[in-house]
Amino acid sequence: MQASGNDNQIIWLQAEAPAKPHIGQACNGCGVCCAAEPCPVARVFLRQMRGTCRALEWHADVSQYRCGMLLRPAHYLFLLPRFLETRFRSLIRRWIAAGVACDSDAYID
């Protein structure tokens, strides 16, 4: 799958990934948003300013992409104490609006 954003960037996703929903429709785990550019969470915590987010994870069992920062934050943030993982996950879920609605303006060619 290829997606083009404002800068005509090409991203590569698993062929089994669901099609990108229209803006405002429910998130379906297509991965386009995270493959096109890192979100503010990745920029702050992973210090990644461009490219596909390093925390974007493909889950073949459900044929969807997931946010690794949400699912396993200690894997990406080695200094995050285990006792803070649950609280951190709830903050990440809210910050990225996980599962709420698509807000990516990238389009599929």
pLDDT tens digits for range 14-70: 999 999 999 999 999 999 999 999 999 999 999 999 999 999 999 999 999 999 999
Which residue from 51, 44, 39 is spatially nearest to 7, judged by alpha carbons? 51
User: Domain residue spans in the chain?
Assistant: 3-100
DSSP state of 27: P
pLDDT of residue 105: 87
The string over 51-64, giving b where at least 16 C-beta atoms fall within 10 Å of a residue's C-beta and e elsewhere, is ebbebbbeeeeeeb
What's residue 7's pLDDT?
61
Report pLDDT for 10. Answer: 85
Query: What is the rounded CA–CA span in Å between residue 91 and residue 15?
Result: 31
For 56-81, write each residue's pLDDT tens digit: 999 999 999 999 999 999 999 989 99
Q: Strand runs (DSSP E) across 24-94, as ranges?
A: 56-59, 64-67
